Each structure stands twice: as structure tokens, then as C-alpha cells.
Structure 1
């Protein structure tokens, strides 16, 4: 009897330890409904609305997906977020266990319900569709309307893609442009034309220089606003492959102009028209007008970077950012002029060949922007060799620029560093080039936009059907393309299937209705219809586990 009990215990342990693991491994992952994974609550206290999410263990919430009426501005988070690296989207901020945010309702239109949108994922490989929560505001709790205030929280000012960071970047760009060979040597002459630093006293000279600076800045601001408005009107064009390739080629041409291979500048007739305007310097209004008209003429050194900046603003379509960015650019360009008006040329570095080195660095930056645009049109496997090739080329260009324009002492160190970077990048380029096409999708899906047709195929079809619900924001959907649908065993297992893909990235009303009809809780989800009926594969599986799920 004792031996029998011992045998039963050993058999139980063995079964739970081995067979139990296999059952767990190959059973379909269990995921919580979104309302349990991300328990949402809201509470209004006067003009402040507090939003709270209780997040289940093993799940996380994207910070940048939390919006008010499709706008993230105005949210102030009191909970610390953490950085999460994703190979497709890079570093993203997420919340685990809890997220909490407050909103100042005085900055919103509370005459109708506000919509809170949020989205999260499960660690095991499921991305939930965006959730929309409509909240009706009790306007009787609000004080009398006041003028809207700016959100000066650190998160708003210095967050990802914030206007403050973009503005600061454009200011640095403008300051660097002032040290190119077409601008720096002309600053003392320009100070004389404006009327500054001509025995008028420091205060008067400073006032004239600032007036010139503001004239140029206001002109640039107007140009930035106009370009942003045009970009917003034609934002769909910036998703076109043809347009992206065209913009990329423009950046390459602009880069070549910075390397001296060609000259890009305003048309001669435009320059002549502006030059016919005669304004006498020495007065505040005269200096302002000279600055305003100077903003309409770009020198060969500044035309390419300015064109690149305008292309960037156009594709953003952000009017406020466009205006502030160009204002900061102009102010950065004219800041050395203000320094000249106060101290003469004492504070400026001595002009020399090094200025052409700075000009060449702008060319490399423009090439990088070109790579960014062309990357959007290429398959994922081309990204790594494209960037490694760019880094290697940049290192070689820097070595060439340093030999042409820098001193012998600096050339040695620059050449060694550039050579190391170039060789390393070339090795990585060769390795990544061998992977091009290896992750190509062997399993080809038909893209459907007709929701009713997809529903009919799942309900009735003469052959097995597999429907892939896909979205651009779904990380695990991209994993399927890279690791599962690129495997020959999966392609063989799916022979004879009608393969259909429906893109639910925008989560339209029809998207949500179709997902609700077939109980699709999140992405990735693949529905396959066979003789036994409709089965669901929820979450991500590598090729071997996917085949087992398919054959269950």
C-alpha cells in the first residue's frame, strides 16, 4: 500500500511537471477583456477631471495613445511612466499597474461629452484595439469661463516631439547657419548696412540689430505658417510613395549643394526685385524693413537647409509649430549679428576654411532626412542596410571634409575616428545586406476593404479561409510577418487556404462592428474557417506553434 501511494505521488508530480508544461505551452493564451485588463475610472472635481487606470499584471498602457478628443495636449500625468523598447516603434513610454492623469476642463469644450481614448497590450503578444470612453461633464461644477492658459508642465514642454524641443532644434540650426562661409564673413558688413556699430553707442546699435533680427524673424514666421497650412491641406500626399521618393530626391539635391557639387539659390529675378527696394539704415524702421526683405533672399549656403526645414514643416502640417520653428531659426541666424553690434567682431571666430566643414555637416544632415523619407517606402528588411550605408558614407564624407578644410592636427584624429566608424558600419552593412529578403513574407494575403465580403467568406466558403486582422499599431502583427509568415513550413501548411487581410488601423465604425461580430478582442487575431466552423488564433505564435494551433 505504501509503495502504491508513493508511486501515485511520483506519477502526479511527473505529470504536472512535464505534461502540464506541454499543455500550457500549446494551449491558446488566455487574455483578459480590455475592461478588466485596464479598469478605467473618471472623477470630476470642479474644473479638474481625474482619470485613473488600474492595469492588470502582465499588461501595459501606452502613454502616447492616451488622448482627449484625439489630442494628447492638456493631460498632466502624476504617475511615473517607464521606457519600453520596441524593435518596430523604437522607445515608447508605457504605464504598468496604474496610470493617473488630470485635465483642466476650462481648456476644453464641455458643451458636449469629451472622448478619452487609450490603448494597451499584453506582454504575451496581444494589442487591444483603441478604447473610446465618452464622459459627460457636469458644467454646473465649473467656474465662470476664463481665457485659456498654456500648459507649462515639463511633460508638455519637453515630451516626445514637443514644440519646445522642435523650436530649440531650429534655433540651434539657425545659429549654426550663421557660421557658414556665406554668412559669417558678411556680418560686420551687414552691421554697417543696418547702421549698427557706427559710433552710435552700444544701446542704439543693439536696438538696430534687434530690429533687423525681428524683421527677418517675422518674415520667416509668416513663411512657416503658410507652408504649414499648405502641408495640412495636402497631408494625404505625404503618404504617397511617389511623393516620399520625390522629397527624398530633393533632400539629396540640397545635400549636394552643401557639398559644393551644385548651387541652389533663389531665382535671379526674385533677388533683383528685392534688391531694387532701397531702404536707408540707421533707423529702427529701416533696420526692421531690411531684415524683413533679407528674409526673402537666401544665400547659396542657407537655401538648402531652409528648403529642408520648410519640407519638414510642410509634412508636419502644424501651423503653430511651423511659425515658432521658423521664428527660432531666424533668431538663431541673427544672434551673431546682435553680438557684432555690441562688441564688433571680437566675439566672433575668425573666418577660415573650417566654415566649409560646417557647411558640409549640413549636407550630411540633409542626406539623413532624405534617408528618413525613402525608408518609409521600403520593406522592413531594407532599413538596417540603408542606415548602416548612410553612417558609413557620412564617416567618409567627414574624413574628406576634414582633409579639405581643417588643420593638419585635427585631420589626424578626425580621419582615424571616421575610418573606424566607416569600417564598422561597412561590416554591419554587409551583414544586414545578407538578411534582405530573408524575412520576406512567403505567405501572401489578399487585402480586403469590404467588411461584408470578409464576413461572407468567414460564414460560407468553398475552401478553408484564414482572415488576418491587422493594424499598423499592432507590434505582434508585424512579428507575424517577420517570424511566422516568412517561414516555408507555414507557407506549406496554408496551401489551399484563401488568405485574406483586413486593415483595422483606423478603427472605423465598420472595423469595430466586424470585430464585435466575430468576437475579436484584440490584435493580432486570425480567424480560420474550416468544415468544423470558425476558429480563432489570438496572440502571436512562432511558426511551429502557429502550425499546431492551425491544426487543432
Structure 2
């Protein structure tokens, strides 16, 4: 299970790991680089070790109330399993799993039973929460059955227009979700060189993959920002989908010394890469806007 978890969770640490490896390769300082990797490992593992060491003294005593705690943590483990496997599943499968999970939560809250006499405010709150879980689960299942493309907005595609998934793909272009910009897809180094040679405005090259969590965070929280969208309108937007990780994908990543997505390379109007303007990993709108402004000169 640890090995399988590493395969799924690995892309989540690609950004900071790539930064540490790039620092080592550029500075040649193996001691500092090794210390950075060791500090990163400690940051990921020490909280778990402290929790294990303190469990006997910090946790309250066992009792009948622990039965409810056991159920809650059981549901949290199921939710964690769905969240961990979600990057490698289609969106509709994720929606179906989350819908089933929400209905399971409603069942544990006994949504189908009447509120007991004298239950008080807690009983009614539990009933209301169960109804909300039931409705959320039904919405997710309906969205999955109707080819929805957004777990957080399962019925948004029923309003008409393009689906609001991670990408509405076509042969040459994609438009990101949630009102984001439109990218032109490239597949080879030759296509990239041709695009850079023919441009008369700054270029943004986005490395994307369906399993990349940070890529989807950029699509959901950074690209739709109005200042960012305005800045990107004056740029030639290119995107490389490295989901398949084929030979062309590897060649493109090797050219820019990327270990994997997410990675955004910015070029000026002459087609030359802007120094120190790369974006590795998720970046909030305010910082990303400054990078775009640097590329625009």
C-alpha cells in the first residue's frame, strides 16, 4: 500500500522536489541540496511521528462515545482513499464515487428515520446534515450519469454551453475550466519552435497532465482571476499535454529540464525565455500576475 500510495501521491510533491533538484543541479552544492531534501522529508514525516508518540497521552479515554468516532474516522478513511485515487480516474468515475460516499454519510446519519422525541437541536441538526449529504450525493450521481465534468459543480454542464471540466479538448486548442483562457495545443519540439519563431507577442507555455493536481488548481483558482485573464489576453498561449508521457512529451520536458508538470515557461515577444520567470507548482493569482507582467516587459 505504501508503494501504491507513493505512485499516486508522487505528483503532488513534484513542484518542491523539482525545485530542490534544480537547485542542486545549478549550484553543484550537494550538501545544501541534500539538506533541503532531508528537511522536506522531515516536514512530511515528523507530524505523523509526533501524532503516534503522543496518542497515548493526548487522546481522551475510551468510552461509548468512541463508537461514533470510529464511524467518523471510517468515513474519513474512505474519503481519503477516493481523494488519493481521483487523479488516475475519469471525472465521471470520481463524481460517482463521491456521490456514493455522500449517500453513505447520509445513511450513517439515519436520514430515512424520523427524529426521535426530545432529540433536541442536535437531532434536528443531524437530520438536516443527512438531507444535505443525500442531496449532494444525488447531484453527483446525476452529474456522472449525464457526463458532467466538474465534481464541485456536478450539474453545471446542464445549463448549456461547453462542459466545465479540466479541459474541453479539440484537435488544436483547449479552453480551461471555470472561465479560464484558451490554449493552443502543441505536441512536438518542431511545433514549439515554429510557434516561437512566428510570434509577435509574449508566449506562455503550460505543461499540463490530467493526473496533475496542481495543474487543476491553477485552472480553478489562478487562471480565472480577472487580472490574470486580462494579462493573458495579450499573450500567445501554448499548452503541452504530457498525460501520455510519450517520446515527444519527454523531449519537450527535457528541453526545459522539467521533471514533470506543472510547469509554465514564459517567453518574450522575440521568442526568448524570460530569465527567472518560470512557474513550478501552484502559484496564487497575485504572484502569477507579477510573472506575466515580467514577461510582458
After TM superposition, the score normalised by the length of structure 2 is 0.47
Specify which structure has the bigger relative contact order, considering alpha-carbon pairs within 8 angstroms and separated by 6 or more residues: 2
| Structure whose residues are more often strand by fraction | 1
Q: Which has the larger radius of gyration?
A: 1
If the length of structure 1 is used for normalisation, what is the TM-score?
0.28
